Amino acid sequence: MSAAQLHAATAVAPQAGDVLSIENLRVSYGSRFNAVPAVRNATFSVARDEVFGLVGESGSGKSTLSMAILRLLPAQAHCEADRMRLGDTDLMAAGPAALRQLRWTRLSYIPQGSMGVLNPVMRVREQFLDTIADHTQGAQRREIEGRIETVLAGVNLRPAVLDQFPHELSGGMKQRVCIALAILLEPELIIADEPTSALDVVSQRQVLETLSSARRRIGASMIMIGHDMALQAQLADRIGIMFAGRFVEIGPTRAIFEAPRHPYTQRLIGAIPSIRRRQDIGELARRGLEHADGATASAHPDLPLREVSAGHFAAIEL
């Protein structure tokens, strides 16, 4: 482990009682001789009942990171971590059987765009029932089966959707079915991968509201992935900014928005359009291109995360 990595590990050291703690997670794709890194030394943790916003542009490694936590990376991906624990379970050491049982009972997932995630030839009810059947038995199974309609009502869906096939539901309804499935077994951690990116603005708002109230109800922690800074500002307790596979800044939402330290974060927040200072699209696009160049340049030296204020870390020269 290099000095920089060591520093990063101690700087954002996990606390006891964290739901998820990750140290130096590295994921690369391709062969050993031609490996393309997708996640580089990611170190962060998620506390109990916390919403951790994971922000970054396309290709920055957000989805790879979430798949790595779920241990569902494709076969050609190579994943290593000094530490990756869900509660007191070592995710890196868990075998297939242990992982299967842990998925959904302790760790659930809301996919990015729910278009193709439900089995097209099975009614929604069957997909609820098989999820329950493979994780519970006896009285507990009956209890959760009896709760399906309540959980659906919690995400504003009528029980009638249970008897429908996925293609008969709208995108927003499917997304809410996925939210209902994600909270059904009351997991400790929910990973939501851009849960609203496929929806229109009105549905986005509704779905996010149902998601956050459902999450609060079961007291789960959540990693919310997305590149919409405005949405993150509303929901996240802390935000981690990823760029080119690395965290460039992690901190409380308020600190990130009020005092962003890394140039990439600064430009990300600067790119939020405001109704008060109206810039035309051309200006925003030009600044977007500039920020890409600038951020690439500034991100080039692999700087470790340093604490810039209480709980606020940034990969910058002090």
Partner 1 sequence: MDLRYLLKRLVSFVVTILVSATLMFILTRLTPNDPIQALLGRMAATGSNIEGGAELVAMYRERFGLDQPILVQYLSYMSNLILRGDFGYSLAYFPAPVLPVIAGAIPWTLGLFLVSTIFAFVAGNLLGALATWPSTPRPLRYVIYALAPVSAIPYYILALLLLYLLAVIFPVFPIGGARTAGGDQSLGLANILDIVHHAVLPGLSIVLALLGFWVLSMRGAMALVKGESYLMYARARGLRDRRIFMRYAVRNASLPQVTALALDLGKVVSGQVLVEIIFSYPGVGYVLYNALRTADYFVIQGVVMFVIISVALATLILDLVYPLLDPRISYRDGQA
- Where does this chain bind partner 1 (CB under 8 A)? 70, 72, 99-105, 108-109, 111, 115-122, 130-131, 134-135, 165, 167, 181
Give, in order, the Cα–Cα distances in Å from 20 to each of 45, 86, 93, 187, 284: 5, 5, 15, 12, 37
Provide the CA 196 distance to its chain's centre, in angstroms. Answer: 12
To the nearest whole angstrom, how small is the minimum distance from the Cβ of residue 108 to partner 1? 8
* Pick 23 or 193: Cβ nearer partner 1: 193
To the nearest whole angstrom, how small is the minimum distance from the Cβ of residue 274 to partner 1? 35
* Pick 100 or 254: Cβ nearer partner 1: 100
* Pick 181 or 211: Cβ nearer partner 1: 181
In whole angstroms, give the CA distance from residue 125 to residue 174: 13
List of E strands, the chain: 20-29, 36-46, 51-55, 77-80, 83-86, 89-90, 107-110, 189-193, 221-225, 238-243, 246-252, 306-309, 312-314
To the nearest whole angstrom, how small is the minimum distance from the Cβ of residue 105 to partner 1? 7
To the nearest whole angstrom, how small is the minimum distance from the Cβ of residue 74 to partner 1? 9
Other Cβ atoms closer than 10 A to 273: 10
To the nearest whole angstrom, how small is the minimum distance from the Cβ of residue 134 to partner 1? 5
| Burial class (CB within 10 angstroms; exposed 0-12, middle 13-18, buried 19+) of 221 | buried
To the nearest whole angstrom, how small is the minimum distance from the Cβ of residue 82 to partner 1? 24
Provide the CA 134 distance to its chain's centre, in angstroms. Answer: 25
* Pick 30 or 116: Cβ nearer partner 1: 116
* Pick 94 or 269: Cβ nearer partner 1: 94
* Pick 111 or 263: Cβ nearer partner 1: 111
To the nearest whole angstrom, how small is the minimum distance from the Cβ of residue 214 to partner 1? 17
Supply 216's token pair.
């609060």
Q: Which residue intervals of 54-200 are DSSP H helices?
A: 62-70, 96-105, 124-133, 138-154, 171-184
* Pick 76 or 296: Cβ nearer partner 1: 76
| Burial class (CB within 10 angstroms; exposed 0-12, middle 13-18, buried 19+) of 284 | middle
